[in-house]
Amino acid sequence: MRELIDKLFRGALNHRKVVLVFVAIFLVASALCIPAVKINYQFADYLPESSPSTQALRTLESAFDAPVPNSRVYVEGISLVQAKELSDQFEQIDGVKEVLWLGNIVDTSVPLATYDTDMVSAWKADDGYLYQIALDTSKAVSAMDELRISAEATGASEVALAGEAINTAVAQGSSDFEIQLILVMAVIVILGLLLLTSEAWFEPVLFLAVIGISIVFNLGTNIIFGEISFITQMCAAILQLAVSMDYGIVMLHAYRGFKDEGLSSFEAAVSAMHKAASVIASSAATTFFGFLSLCVMSFLIGADMGVVLAKGIVFSFLSVLFILPILVLASEKILNKTAHRKFLPSFDVFAKWCMRIAVPFTIITALIMVPAYLAQKQPNFVYGASGFVEPGSQLYEETATIDAKFGAAEQWVVLVPAGSWGNEKAFASALENLPGISSVTSYASSVSERIPTDFVPEESLSQLISGGYSRLIISTNVEGESDETFALVQQVRDLADEYYPGQAHLVGSSVTSYDMSLVVNDDSFKVQLASILAIGIVLLFMFRSLSIPLMLLIAIESSIWVNVAIPYFMGTEIQYIGYLIISAIMLGATVDYTIILSKSYLDHRKHLNKKPAMLAAISESAITILTSATILTLCGMFIGLISSNGVIAGLGTLIGRGAFIAALNTFLFLPIMFMIFDKVVEKTTWKAHFYHNKHGDSGKSLRLASDEE
């Protein structure tokens, strides 16, 4: 097998021009495919087909052309005549399927003072008017802009837009620019870090070029899926960049080592490919299976993200393994000309300080572990598109403006079999009596169950009856994803089953969020179990040990608990999708830190006692772990600070903070576990060959140990 791999490596290096031509062709093809990959911003599309919301949406789409109103527009400082003209203008905008305003409820030619005050105030506040609009989400970005332009053209003093479709449109419109900005910031930081850790000014260029190529490969090949979720689109490139950057560091470090031993450039590259292949493969395997564990989610956004991220790791691994050595050989003269002295000093002092702080840190970690585990299951979760709205953003302020004037309002639709008008009227009446429902519009209540459908104009009839279903429009006054809202969803469904057993369908944004909460709550345990088992098995074969995988998983899992518990103690909301994804991402991305330290410790433990071995391991592995952790921490922070999408910003914050906590646990918590369970590790690890010398050790590690004592 080794001979076959050796032939493969030598063949790639001997025919490097052919390999580079193939890479160039594939790179161009991938780059051309990226714009053709459709981005899906609808959470509802990722609910399983068995979900009641999914079935209801399918039924609504097949039976009715008019969707549920999903946007609200408030225009202040206009007259009633202008409000009517604006309604007509809104209806002409491409992407607007339906517009409801005060003129659809009352005859505006009659003085408004003659109508019920509550009815008018639901659509008019001071000198402003509210419009309920059904937007085609595929055209929401351009439609949103035209709605605002049309409203501002009237000379309005204030224009505010809100609603699920507006949330989605804002996320859509800002995502491309934000991705580019995040990547630019990340590249600048990574470039700075690599310059500090490199031995030639040109090295960072090679690293970024190779990982950049693999990112383009990954994004372009997403075309095989047709579309990907907006979460995947926002996070895939930056996570791939942050997680796999250390692959190149390992490869180039191995190449330098063999060059220093006197090997020719070609032989050093071949030897580096052999050595780095096993190291990078073990690291990539844990990340790969960590990401892939997301596929067990019933909520299909997990599979969407898991497959794309795992595919990215494969491209990064292959690119570093084959393309980087070729580029190193091709640019050897430039590397030699740009060589410089090492900027970073020895990390011996860092190792000593870690060991001094480790004991109190471990005690604190042990004390907070159980509370953190319990708290991380209790945060205030956000499930649907309301999580897109980032506090402080224009969208957040405009949503608050509309809610302040008209209250939190949302429209739902109940589809029931048409024809039983008496039953429908009784059902509508029962719905109106539920707390949280302000009004119900149906054929039986709006037209009359006594008037045959043949006598009703087709234009009016099609809005209420179509495809064998009668459409009841429910106006609610409950908060988007509150406990009260979710309770109301279940009450409406229970009432519908009472009047139409197994025949009614409920549609609405909060209804989808409610079903999402049921699905993802079931997913939580599955994702955690799958990621732990998958990575645990990889670690088991990697270390050939029963105890080490358990210790590494405890170190990373405890950092995940602390990370996710922080929003609970701070009283802030957390997007549940981020909560689910972060456990798999952190396990896959940060377990590398523990692997690097553990391998170094086991190597040194063969000729040193446990404390000097750990000091040497921390000193030796610090630069790699700190570089990787700093990159992931800062990239996560950039996502959190730059993204205007609350879901993405929250996920970025979790990733950045999680990488920092995982690095702390690696340097301060894991060493103490190795110290305490040294004998257990030796007895449960195949061919551990631990060194035992009660009189101490010599060399560098002895000096470190003596300083400690």
Tell me the pLDDT tens digit for each residue of 662-708: 999 999 999 999 999 999 999 999 988 888 876 555 444 444 444 44
- The yes-or-no verdict on residue 657 having pLDDT over 50 is yes
Report residue 412 as tokens: 């739902």
According to the 3-state scheme, what is the secondary structure of 4-62? HHHHHHHHHHHCHHHHHHHHHHHHHHHHHHHHHCEEECCHHHHCCCCCHHHHHHHHHHH
Q: How far apart are CA 367 and CA 318, in angstroms?
A: 43
Supply the pLDDT for residue 646.
72
For the chain, count helices (H), then strands (E).
28, 14
Supply the pLDDT for residue 28.
97
Supply the pLDDT for residue 190.
82
Supply the pLDDT for residue 456.
43
Q: Which residue has the higher pLDDT, 559 or 122?
A: 559
- The yes-or-no verdict on residue 78 having pLDDT over 70 is yes
Q: How far apart are CA 595 and CA 555, in angstroms?
A: 11
Q: Which of 698, 133, 73, 6 is nearest to 411 (CA)?
A: 133
Which band of pLDDT confidence, cut at 50, 70 and 90, is reported for residue 639?
Answer: confident
Q: Which residues contact 252 (CB under 8 A, 6 or more apart)?
A: 203, 206, 207, 272, 324, 328
Q: How far apart are CA 87 and CA 258, in angstroms?
A: 74
List the beta bridge partners of residue 476. Answer: 410, 437
Taking the CA atoms of residue 257, residue 263, residue 267 and residue 269 in that order, the dihedral angle to the nearest 10 degrees is 30
Which band of pLDDT confidence, cut at 50, 70 and 90, is reported for residue 384?
Answer: low
The answer to whether 237 and 184 have CB atoms below 8 angstroms apart is no
Which band of pLDDT confidence, cut at 50, 70 and 90, is reported for residue 437?
Answer: confident
- The yes-or-no verdict on residue 311 having pLDDT over 80 is yes
The answer to whether 427 and 495 have CB atoms below 8 angstroms apart is yes
What number is the average pLDDT over the span 496-502?
Answer: 91
pLDDT tens figures, 174-201 = 667 777 788 788 888 888 888 887 778 8
Supply the pLDDT for residue 271.
93
Q: How far apart are CA 594 and CA 445, in angstroms?
A: 66
Q: How far apart are CA 220 and CA 542, in angstroms?
A: 32
Q: What are phi and psi of 606, to 5 degrees?
A: -75, -20
Supply the pLDDT for residue 67.
64
pLDDT tens figures, 124-150 = 887 889 998 888 877 888 889 899 999
pLDDT tens figures, 569-588 = 887 777 777 776 777 777 77
Percent of the chain with pLDDT over 70: 90
CA dihedral sign of residues 143, 149, 154, 156: positive
pLDDT tens figures, 59-72 = 887 777 656 778 88
Average pLDDT of the chain is 83
Which band of pLDDT confidence, cut at 50, 70 and 90, is reported for residue 365?
Answer: very high
Q: Which residue has the higher pLDDT, 564 or 353?
A: 353
Supply the pLDDT for residue 353.
94
664-697 as b/e: b if 16+ CB within 10 A: bbbbbbbbbbbbebbebbbebbeebebeeeeeeb
Q: Which residue has the higher pLDDT, 322 or 203?
A: 322
Report residue 516 as tokens: 């999402």
Which band of pLDDT confidence, cut at 50, 70 and 90, is reported for residue 593?
Answer: confident
How are the residues of the chain apportioned to helix, strand and coil, as percentages rounded to the nearest 5? 70, 10, 20
Q: Which residues contact 32 (CB under 8 A, 6 or more apart)?
A: 220
pLDDT tens figures, 156-175 = 888 999 887 887 777 776 66
Supply the pLDDT for residue 454.
45
The answer to whether 618 and 350 have CB atoms below 8 angstroms apart is yes
Lowest mean pLDDT of 291-295, 377-381, 453-457, name the range: 453-457
pLDDT tens figures, 439-488 = 787 766 655 444 444 434 444 455 567 778 888 888 888 876 777 888 99
